[in-house]
Amino acid sequence: MKQPLLHINKPQPPLIIEKLYSRVFWRIPQEQKTVYLTFDDGPVPIYTPWVLDLLDTYKVPATFFCVGENAQTYPDIFSEIQKRGHAIGSHTYNHLNGWKTANALYFENVCKAAQVVESKLFRPPYGKITLKQARVLSEKLTIIMWDVLSKDYDQTIDGETCFDNIKNYVSNGSIIVFHDSPKAFKNLEYALPKTIEWLQNEGYKCAKLHVD
């Protein structure tokens, strides 16, 4: 199976990747300065509720790309995301890597997760999806990537670096990635409140993603 050119693991994806993957959304500029906070890999106990409470404190909406299996395992937390007014997207059923998964299995897994969370928004785990997978899935789903990666999951960096990753790359329409997961929490706990406060001070509106 052919793979894309490189792994999108930098704070901002290379322009050539954005051009190759024209069937996905990397940013959504608006007339008013707007950004989209997104969270991957939940819902899970402790960490997703912490994020929800923090978002309530600052009165900002977000979009949660949920692993289908987690949504079924923790239905109360999944429901709480929706009750608090946030948007939902899918993140495959078992957090599959599209580069390492046969197309038929990947399509089945993605569609299963989309049915579980009842959303047409989809983000591929790790940002790893082949051009063919993107082409096929974009006919049914809205594929959301990002243009600002906090890298909160990276154990070799600290929360201040995650915050800097956002400050240095954010612009109108930016889709920002955080993770509501145990692995990311040390950095998330530091970077998320600072990010929200900085965005608000800079005149950005936080919005949730939606499908027209």
Active site residues: 40, 179
Report the alpha-carbon angle 20-121-40, nearest 5: 90
* 66 beta partners: 90
CA distance 200 to 206: 8
Helical spans, DSSP H, in 59-129: 68-73, 75-83, 103-117
Helical spans, DSSP H, in 9-74: 15-20, 47-58, 68-73
Report the alpha-carbon angle 47-112-46, nearest 5: 10
What beta strand segments (E) does 147-186 contain?
148-149, 175-179
DSSP label at residue 142: E
The CA-atom distances, in angstroms, between 164 and each of 107, 119, 149, 167 are: 36, 32, 11, 5
